[in-house]
């Protein structure tokens, strides 16, 4: 690789691994692959077609499509011309959000799949910069500004056949410099105006190399199924460029007629692709675990008891990973090996039989969840990163891991923990995570104020709180903006508490803690309606009586009380940050109501605004009794139709 640019990376790998499979796509009833050489030819043709249409260095070209051959081909083609890719999530349904990204980036063209084309059609009339819409799939009819991708490839072939143009294409991609912009990647829209993160070619190449040298050992025969959205930096760097660097391959999830059908293809596709590793986020991890535990329950109580005992043994034997099988734990090895053979190996077969590990990111992953996957023999190595860092900052790895941490900082990245005044804090003390490295973004597109706030003297101020332990492992405590703040000014991150409550309760689907300089903490709680109604039915209660309503509410309260003094999990969290009053909600937080962002994180500011009246009520004496009239009314309206649990299941499957 002569330059640290994505075209040089791809050309280098296409030369070394020309006949290796690069990308698998399911067509009909089976997966078929394109080799590195076949993709290289398509990229050249597509880039040439764009040049023929007048795309030049620095132009912005948006991409909104499901992961597939054309996705990779088109983004690489854009980068070969020196233009900038603007990848956009297919899950953006708010047309105002989509229009903002296209308008703010000044995209001249947009490349779009058939299922997303209608969104562009609805916003294009108010986008004067948008000249062409490149369609990946055939339509019944075409507008004047629309062109099919096959026509671009034909244009490219003709262009390359003309005297001197093939040389011109080569000179064009070789002229791309490492500091040139590669992508504009917009934040998830937790505010009215999401910020466009500028990532350079160097940012991506450096971060991919950092990940390969510090975390990932990816031989050329490795493959992964890219479940996470391809438009995210995580999928770009770890799912695409690390694999391309080492000659490995990726597979796309089989597209369905709609998004839900596509999601339902994931378990089947995993068995077909038989990945060696998978990228994951907490919502996806929870969904995998629920499916595993349901399958175990369906086999009867004897198998379930055996499985629970096997987990207990595995938890003891594995400990926190770094001390696995050490000391007294060595005695548990034969029993753990037995359970692995008769139980855990059967679970691994459902993941294709070759899966060695997950790489987890996106949000806090509860340590108990990490222990679960470690126990069944498919560790979920938690990492930490930000789009602004291209994105990987730290990660656990097969050779160095400590459950509960976010791993060690990648080689080539400097880190410090700072107090509110920017002073560096000693090991073990909590403060803002601040980093420096060649993976750090250029800045925010057309947003000088936000750039200057985030980048100071070459250091990226992440806005996340954390600390380093004496062994160099990073612990991330959560976003500074989402902190609980007591009336005495003390602060605490809510994510760990929220994750633990949800993970340990079958009756709670979502919970958000809130404290803004108040005497006590409160919570908004979304029950798992199906589980709650089932419990009520088995115990002879009905939603229509006050007795039944209070019984259900007391059950929800008891799930939270497990973490308070005298409860099963007492001492895990300081009592002052556990909720003293709870508002039960009748609707879950979803992407559709914009209370979750595209990475399924709660948009706390919006939730607080949306439920302002309920939160205000929580700080009244009446609300401390969970059987207050407001909560009873919500329980009264519960029905088996339109369960919140169904909404959340659909959401979690999306990641």
Query: Hey, what's the torsion of the CAs at 276, 281, 287, 292, to 10 degrees?
Result: 40
Q: What is the pLDDT of residue 167?
A: 96
In angstroms, rounded to a whole number, what is the distance separating the alpha carbons of residues 360 and 373? 11
CB atoms within 10 A of CB 31: 17
Q: Is the peptide bond before 391 cis (omega within 30 degrees of 0)?
A: yes
Indicate yes or no: pTM above 0.85: no
What integer best gives the mean pLDDT of the chain? 92
Whether the pLDDT of residue 431 is over 50: the answer is yes
For the stretch 132-148, pLDDT in tens is 999 999 988 889 999 99
For residues 572-588, average pLDDT: 93
Q: How many residues make up the chain in this entry?
A: 655
Q: Which of 583, 569, 572 is nearest to 631 (CA)?
A: 583
List residues bridging with 395 in a β-sheet.
Answer: 383, 408
21 three-class SS: strand
| Cβ within 8 Å of residue 162, ≥6 positions away | none
Query: Hey, what's the torsion of the CAs at 313, 310, 380, 403, to 10 degrees?
Result: -20
Band of the pLDDT at 655, cuts 50, 70, 90?
very low
How many helices and strands (H and E) does the chain possess? 25, 28
Question: Of 336-350, 469-483, 625-639, which gets the smallest average pLDDT?
Answer: 469-483
Q: Which CA distances in Å does 500 have to 337, 364, 368, 410?
A: 29, 11, 8, 28
Where does 178-321 have alpha helices with state H? 201-214, 233-234, 242-246, 259-264, 266-273, 282-298, 301-318
| Cβ within 8 Å of residue 6, ≥6 positions away | 76, 79, 182, 201, 204, 205, 241
Planar angle of CA 331, 336, 340, nearest 5 degrees:
160
In angstroms, rounded to a whole number, what is the distance separating the alpha carbons of residues 226 and 396? 20
Give me the domains of the chain, ranges plus CATH numbers: 6-205+232-240 (3.40.50.12780), 276-481 (3.40.50.12780), 483-653 (3.30.300.30)
Quick check: 446 and 60 in contact, CB under 8 A? Answer: no
Quick check: 275 and 354 in contact, CB under 8 A? Answer: yes
Place of tokens 């002052």: 576
Band of the pLDDT at 20, cuts 50, 70, 90?
very high
Band of the pLDDT at 367, cuts 50, 70, 90?
confident
| Cβ within 8 Å of residue 447, ≥6 positions away | 195, 196
| Cβ within 8 Å of residue 646, ≥6 positions away | 530
Q: What is the pLDDT of residue 33?
A: 98
For residues 209-238, average pLDDT: 95
256-285 CB burial, b ≥16 within 10 A, e <16: eeebeebbeebeebbebbebbbbbbbbbbb
In this structure, what token pair is assigned to residue 160? 């390359």
SS (H, E, C) 364-414: CCCHHHHHHHHHCCCCEEEEEECHHHCCEEEECCCCCCCCCCCCEECCCCE
Band of the pLDDT at 420, cuts 50, 70, 90?
confident
Whether the pLDDT of residue 265 is over 70: the answer is yes
Q: Phi/psi class of residue 525: alpha, beta or left (left: φ > 0; alpha: ψ in -120 to 50)?
A: beta
Q: Which CA distances in Å does 108 have to 78, 102, 146?
A: 12, 9, 13
């Amino acid at each position: 690789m002569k330059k640290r640019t994505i075209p040089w990376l791809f050309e280098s790998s296409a030369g070394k691994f020309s006949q290796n499979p690069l990308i698998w796509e399911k067509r009909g009833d089976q997966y078929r692959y394109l080799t590195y050489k076949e993709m290289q030819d398509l990229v050249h043709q597509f880039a040439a077609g764009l040049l023929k249409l007048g795309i030049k260095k620095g132009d912005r070209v948006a991409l909104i499509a499901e992961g597939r051959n054309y996705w990779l081909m088109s983004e690489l083609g854009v980068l070969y011309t020196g233009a900038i890719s603007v990848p956009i999530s297919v899950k953006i349904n708010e047309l105002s959000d989509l229009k903002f990204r296209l308008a703010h980036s000044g995209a001249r063209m947009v490349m779009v799949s058939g299922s997303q084309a209608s969104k562009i059609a609805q916003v294009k009339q108010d986008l004067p910069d948008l000249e062409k819409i490149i369609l990946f799939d055939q339509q019944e009819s075409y507008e004047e500004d629309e062109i099919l991708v096959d026509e671009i490839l034909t244009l490219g072939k003709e262009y390359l056949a003309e005297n001197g143009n093939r040389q011109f294409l080569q000179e064009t991609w070789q002229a791309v410099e490492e500091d040139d912009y590669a992508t504009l990647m917009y934040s998830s829209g937790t505010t009215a105006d999401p910020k466009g993160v500028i990532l350079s070619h160097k940012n991506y190449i450096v971060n991919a190399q950092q990940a390969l040298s510090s975390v990932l050992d990816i031989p050329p025969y490795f493959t992964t199924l890219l479940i996470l959205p391809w438009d995210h930096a995580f999928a770009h760097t770890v799912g695409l460029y690390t694999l391309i660097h080492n000659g490995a391959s990726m597979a796309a999830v089989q597209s369905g007629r709609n998004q839900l059908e596509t999601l339902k293809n994931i378990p089947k596709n995993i068995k077909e692709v038989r990945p060696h590793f998978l990228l994951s986020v907490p919502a996806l991890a929870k969904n995998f675990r629920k499916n595993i535990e349901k399958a175990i329950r369906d086999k009867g109580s004897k198998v379930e008891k055996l499985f629970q005992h096997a987990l207990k043994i595995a938890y003891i034997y594995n400990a926190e990973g770094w001390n696995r099988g050490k000391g007294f734990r060595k005695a548990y090895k034969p029993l753990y090996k037995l359970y692995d053979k008769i139980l855990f190996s059967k679970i691994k077969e459902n993941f294709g039989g070759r899966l060695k590990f997950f790489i987890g990111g996106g949000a806090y992953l509860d340590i108990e969840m990490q222990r679960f996957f470690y126990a069944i023999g498919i560790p979920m190595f938690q990492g930490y990163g930000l789009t602004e860092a291209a994105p990987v900052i730290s990660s656990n790895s097969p050779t160095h891991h400590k459950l509960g941490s976010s791993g060690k900082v990648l080689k080539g990245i400097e880190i410090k923990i700072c107090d509110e005044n920017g002073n560096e804090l000693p090991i073990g003390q909590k403060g803002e995570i601040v980093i420096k490295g060649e993976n750090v973004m250029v800045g925010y597109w057309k947003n000088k104020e936000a750039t200057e706030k985030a980048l100071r003297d070459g250091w990226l101020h992440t806005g996340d709180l954390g600390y380093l332990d004496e062994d160099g492992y990073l612990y991330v405590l959560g976003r500074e903006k989402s902190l609980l703040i007591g009336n005495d000014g003390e602060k605490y991150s809510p994510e760990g508490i929220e994750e633990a409550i949800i993970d340990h309760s079958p009756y709670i689907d979502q919970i958000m803690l809130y404290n803004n300089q108040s005497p006590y903490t409160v919570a908004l709680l979304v029950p798992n309606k199906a589980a709650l109604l089932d419990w009520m039915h088995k115990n002879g209660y009905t939603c229509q009586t006050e007795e039944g309503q209070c019984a259900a509410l007391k059950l929800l309260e008891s799930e939270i009380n497990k973490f308070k003094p005298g409860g099963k999990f007492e001492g895990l969290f300081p009592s002052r940050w556990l909720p003293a009053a709870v508002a039960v909600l009748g609707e879950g937080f979803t992407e559709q109501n914009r209370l979750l962002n595209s990475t399924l994180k709660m948009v706390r500011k919006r939730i607080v605004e949306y439920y302002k009246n309920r939160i205000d009520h929580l700080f009244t004496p009446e609300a401390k009794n969970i059987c207050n009239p407001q909560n009873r009314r919500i329980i009264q309206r519960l029905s088996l139709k339109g369960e919140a649990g169904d909404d959340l299941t659909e959401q979690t499957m999306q990641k």
